[in-house]
Amino acid sequence: MAVSNEFPGAELPGAERPDPVDRLPSGWRPSLAQSGLVGVIALGLTLAVAELLAALGQLVGWLSPASSPLSALGQSFIGLTPEWLKQFAISTFGSNDKTALMVGMGLTLLLVGVVIGLVGRDRPRIAVGLAVVLLVVTGAAVLSRPDATVVDLLPLALGGAAGIGFLVSAFRRQLAPATPAAEPSVEPVADAQPTGTTGDHHPMLRATPVGPAAATRRDFFRFAGIGALAAVAVGAVARWIPSTAQVAASRSAVALPAATAGTAAAPTDVLDDVPGISPFVTPNTDFYRIDTAFVVPRMTTDQWQLRVHGMVDREITLSWSDLLAMPSLTHMVTLTCVSNPVGGEYIGNADWQGVRIADVLAMAGPQAGADCVFSTSVDGFTVTTPLDVLTDDRDALLAYAMNGEPLPVEHGFPVRMVVPGLYGFVSATKWVVDLEVTTFADATAYWTVRGWSAKAPIKTSSRIDVPRSQESVSKGKVPIAGVAWAQYRGISGVQVQIDDGPWMDATLSGDAGADTWRQWVYYWDATASGTHTARCRATDATGAVQIDAIADVVPDGATGLDERTFMVTA
Ligand SMILES: Nc1nc2c(c(=O)[nH]1)N[C@H]1C(S)=C(S)[C@@H](COP(=O)(O)O)O[C@H]1N2
Ligand SMILES: [Mo]
Query: What is the predicted pLDDT for the residue at 192?
Result: 39
Query: What is the predicted pLDDT for the residue at 175?
Result: 62
Q: Any idea what the Cα angle at residue 241 is, between residues 237 and 242, rounded to 5°?
A: 140
Q: Which residues contact 419 (CB under 8 A, 6 or more apart)?
A: 357, 385, 389, 390, 394, 396, 397, 427, 428
Which parts of 432-500 fold into alpha helices (H)? Answer: 446-449
Tens-digit pLDDT profile for residues 185-209: 333 343 434 443 443 444 433 444 4
Tens-digit pLDDT profile for residues 317-376: 999 999 999 999 999 999 999 999 999 999 999 999 999 999 999 999 999 999 999 999
Mean local confidence (pLDDT), 313-320: 97
For 190-215, letters b (16+ CB in 10 Å) and e give beeeeeeeeeeeeeebeeebebbbbb
Closest CA to 352 of 300, 297, 446, 427: 427
CA–centroid distance for 373 within its chain: 25
Confidence of residue 9 (pLDDT cuts 50, 70, 90): very low
Tens-digit pLDDT profile for residues 398-457: 999 999 999 999 999 999 999 999 999 999 999 999 999 999 999 999 999 999 999 999
Q: Does the CB atom of residue 290 touch ligand 1 within 6 A?
A: yes
Closest CA to 48 of 154, 137, 131, 162: 162
| End-to-end Cα distance, the chain | 85
Q: Are 433 and 304 in contact (CB under 8 A)?
A: yes
CA distance 19 to 13: 12
CA distance 480 to 562: 12
pLDDT above 70 as % of the chain: 86
Cis peptide before 327 (omega within 30 of 0): no
Q: Does the CB atom of residue 446 touch ligand 1 within 6 A?
A: no
Q: Which residues contact 140 (CB under 8 A, 6 or more apart)?
A: none
Query: What is the predicted pLDDT for the residue at 41?
Result: 96
Tens-digit pLDDT profile for residues 16-74: 444 444 444 445 678 889 899 999 999 999 999 999 999 888 877 788 878 989 888 88
3-class DSSP string for 494-528: EEEEECCCCEEECEECCCCCCCCCEEEEEEEEECC
Confidence of residue 263 (pLDDT cuts 50, 70, 90): low
Query: What is the predicted pLDDT for the residue at 212?
Result: 65
Q: Does the CB atom of residue 532 touch ligand 1 within 6 A?
A: no
Query: What is the predicted pLDDT for the residue at 231?
Result: 93
CA distance 497 to 557: 23
> 101 C-alpha vs ligand 1 centroid, how far in Å?
40
CA distance 551 to 100: 62
Q: What are phi and psi of 106, to 5 degrees?
A: -60, -45
Q: Are 175 and 20 in contact (CB under 8 A)?
A: yes
Confidence of residue 560 (pLDDT cuts 50, 70, 90): very high
Tens-digit pLDDT profile for residues 94-107: 656 667 777 888 89
Query: What is the predicted pLDDT for the residue at 198?
Result: 41
Closest CA to 537 of 528, 526, 546, 529: 546
> 408 C-alpha vs ligand 2 centroid, how far in Å?
17
Q: Are 434 and 316 in contact (CB under 8 A)?
A: no
Tell the residue nearest (CA) to atom 12 of ligand 1. Answer: 425
Tens-digit pLDDT profile for residues 465-491: 999 999 999 999 999 999 999 999 999
> 337 C-alpha vs ligand 1 centroid, how far in Å?
8
The rounded mean pLDDT for the chain is 87
**To test ligand 1's pocket by mutation, which of 376, 422, 425, 446 has the most ligand atoms within 8 angstroms of CB?**
425
Query: What is the predicted pLDDT for the residue at 94?
Result: 64
Mean local confidence (pLDDT), 509-522: 97
pLDDT above 90 as % of the chain: 67
CA distance 447 to 423: 12
Query: What is the predicted pLDDT for the residue at 174?
Result: 73
The domains found in the chain, sorted by start residue, are: 32-175+218-241 (no CATH), 261-265+277-449 (3.90.420.10), 461-569 (2.60.40.650)
Q: pTM here?
A: 0.69
Closest CA to 410 of 293, 242, 254: 293
